[in-house]
């Protein structure tokens, strides 16, 4: 029997990192990733501001008579920072349109940005401090996720909330300028509150997870600020987070390259408002539409060759609701062929049921091809005029290999935010977000513009 090496001091090391890493001590790509992460999150949160899940959460939190401390993005009400973090966190995930770290399936912004913006508004933090907190908070979320992924995820945890609560606590501790000791206490308290079961997918409880993680992480940091204690080995101890929530611990992953390599650089954004596995097929259809000026009436038949997961997760032939449409490769491809895009609006129930979309959807066929990688797809379109158009997609737009351009991200933001805020305010929010850290008043101005006028 050989003795296992003791685990590294993850809690303390991450706490020192979060409290001590100098502001903006990373390269420009990392800082840009921070800004893109916040912008994408804001678009998703604002776009979903009136969703029934958000409305229900607002109504429930109103029972606490919350103080008007912080903005609910895209809404007129203000709430205390804990409730605001919850509501905004829910809103940002409700469309399944937010960011994804492809290495561990965390949607990192939800808990981290929701907590950071609520705290920053209350404590008059600068835009620079917010970007720093988001970069560091996402780093913590993703490193905690790497520590327990994939066993933790496979067991059934919704890793966005269960790892995300530690990232939210880290970002909050940073904004509150807690020292290393108190930051460790904040992480410890967060470690006791993993949120999220995958059993909830398809219900409002799924977007509840990043919201609840945001609130719990923010509260953990406030408790630590006032002297509340927790175990200094809450993450790595024998009865700590890593052992309790996972049968597998990748200790090296948690700390490798800490402060040199930042996980946020690997964050990706969805150009299409639906399940990620569908994206290569949509990408191929869009590409053929653009190259050949295809009109829906031109299309006789679409044949997709796809990775097995595509039909397992998104094989719904006859979706009826918006949510079902998001998990139907047939609807996703039909929508992009009809409208030239597959943003949130193209997954509304009325579109999913529209006769011309349904008719085109029924001319789309998919075959599983085990030789196709999960990030790839093969698309063939037969036209009524006899043309056969073929597109092979290796990596979809929005993947790590083909990131969304800044322009595309702006367009996505506008498509989400303009219907809620109007064009002028949406543009102002986008501009202030891009400028966070550049000037003094950008953050305050962002909050002013991010609600209906």
Residue numbers of the site for its own copies (CB under 8 A)?
52-53, 56-57, 59-61, 63-67, 69, 80-82, 122, 155-158, 161, 188-189, 191-200, 202-205, 208-209, 212, 216, 219, 222-223, 225-231, 233-234, 237-241, 243-244
CB 51 to its own copies: min, Å:
11
CB 230 to its own copies: min, Å:
4
Query: Which residue pairs from 383-386 have beta carbons closer than 8 angstroms and sit at least 24 positions apart in sequence?
Result: 383/294, 383/298, 383/299, 383/300, 384/297, 384/298, 384/299, 384/300, 385/298
CB 256 to its own copies: min, Å:
23
For its own copies, the closer CB: 223 or 396: 223
CB 357 to its own copies: min, Å:
27
CB 402 to its own copies: min, Å:
31
For its own copies, the closer CB: 222 or 338: 222
For its own copies, the closer CB: 61 or 421: 61
Annotate the chain with three-state secondary structure. CCCCCCCCCHHHHHHHHHHHCCCCCCCHHHHHHHHHHHHHHHHHHHHCCCCHHHHHHHHHHHCCCCCCCEECCCCCCEECHHHHHHHHHHHHHCCCCCCECCCCCCCCHHHHHHHHHHHHHHCCCCHHHHHHHHHHHHHHHHHHHHHHCCHHHHHCECHHHHCHHHHHHHHHHHHCCCCHHHHHHHHHHHHCCCCCEHHHCCCCHHHHHHHHHHHHHHHHHHHHHCCCCCCCCCCCCCCCHHHHHCCCCCHHHHHCCCCCCCHHHHCECCCCCCCHHHHHHHHHHHHHHHHHCCCHHHEEEEEEEECHHHHHHHECCCCCCHHHHHCEHHHHHHHHHHHCCCCHHHHCHHHHCCHHHHHHHCCEEEEECCCCCCCCEEEEEEECCCCEEEEEECCCCCCCCCCCCHHHHHHHHHHHHHHHHCHHHHHHHHHHHHCCCCCCCHHHHHHHHCCCC
For its own copies, the closer CB: 178 or 433: 178
For its own copies, the closer CB: 200 or 317: 200
CB 59 to its own copies: min, Å:
4
CB 11 to its own copies: min, Å:
10
CB 72 to its own copies: min, Å:
15
For its own copies, the closer CB: 230 or 381: 230
For its own copies, the closer CB: 34 or 161: 161
CB 136 to its own copies: min, Å:
21
For its own copies, the closer CB: 54 or 417: 54
For its own copies, the closer CB: 25 or 60: 60
CB 221 to its own copies: min, Å:
9
For its own copies, the closer CB: 235 or 281: 235
Q: How far apart are CA 286 and CA 170, in angstroms?
A: 40
């Amino acid at each position: 029997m050989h003795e296992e090496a003791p685990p590294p001091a993850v809690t303390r090391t991450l706490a020192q990192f979060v409290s001590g890493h100098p502001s903006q001590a990373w390269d420009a790509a990392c800082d840009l990733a921070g800004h893109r992460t916040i912008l994408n999150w804001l678009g998703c949160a604002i776009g979903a501001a009136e969703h029934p899940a958000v409305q229900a959460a607002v109504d429930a939190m109103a029972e606490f008579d919350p103080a008007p401390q912080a903005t609910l993005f895209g809404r007129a009400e203000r709430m205390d920072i804990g409730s605001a973090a919850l509501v905004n966190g829910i809103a940002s995930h409700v469309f399944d349109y937010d960011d994804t770290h492809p290495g561990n399936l965390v949607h990192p912004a939800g808990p981290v940005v929701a907590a950071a913006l609520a705290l920053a508004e209350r404590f008059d933090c600068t835009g620079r401090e917010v970007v720093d907190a988001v970069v560091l908070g996402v780093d913590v979320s993703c490193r905690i996720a790497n520590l327990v992924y994939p066993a933790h995820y496979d067991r059934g945890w919704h890793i966005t909330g269960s790892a995300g609560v530690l990232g939210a606590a880290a970002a909050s501790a940073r904004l509150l300028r807690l020292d290393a000791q108190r930051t460790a206490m904040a992480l410890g308290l967060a470690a006791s509150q993993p949120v999220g079961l995958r059993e909830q997918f398809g219900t409002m409880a799924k977007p509840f997870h990043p919201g609840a993680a945001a609130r719990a992480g923010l509260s953990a940091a406030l408790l630590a600020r006032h002297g509340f204690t927790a175990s200094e080995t809450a993450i790595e101890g024998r009865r700590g987070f890593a052992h309790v929530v996972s049968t597998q611990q990748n200790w090296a992953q948690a700390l490798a390259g800490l402060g040199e390599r930042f996980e946020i650089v690997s964050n990706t954004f969805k150009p299409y408002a639906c399940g990620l596995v569908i994206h290569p097929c949509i990408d191929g259809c869009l590409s053929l539409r653009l190259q050949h000026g295809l009109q829906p009436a031109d299309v006789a038949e679409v044949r997709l060759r796809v990775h097995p997961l595509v039909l397992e997760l998104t094989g719904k032939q006859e979706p009826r609701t918006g949510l079902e449409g998001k998990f139907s490769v047939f609807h996703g491809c039909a929508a992009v062929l009809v409208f030239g895009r597959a943003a949130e609006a193209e997954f509304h129930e009325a579109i999913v049921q529209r006769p011309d979309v349904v008719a085109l959807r029924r001319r789309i066929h998919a075959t599983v091809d085990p030789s196709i990688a999960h990030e790839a797809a093969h698309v063939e379109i037969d036209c009524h005029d006899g043309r056969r158009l073929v597109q092979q997609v290796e990596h979809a737009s929005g993947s790590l290999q083909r990131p969304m351009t800044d322009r595309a991200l702006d367009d996505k933001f506008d498509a989400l935010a303009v219907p809620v805020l109007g064009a002028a305010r949406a543009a102002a929010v986008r501009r202030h977000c891009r400028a966070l850290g550049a000037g003094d008043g950008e953050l305050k101005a962002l909050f002013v513009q991010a609600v209906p006028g």
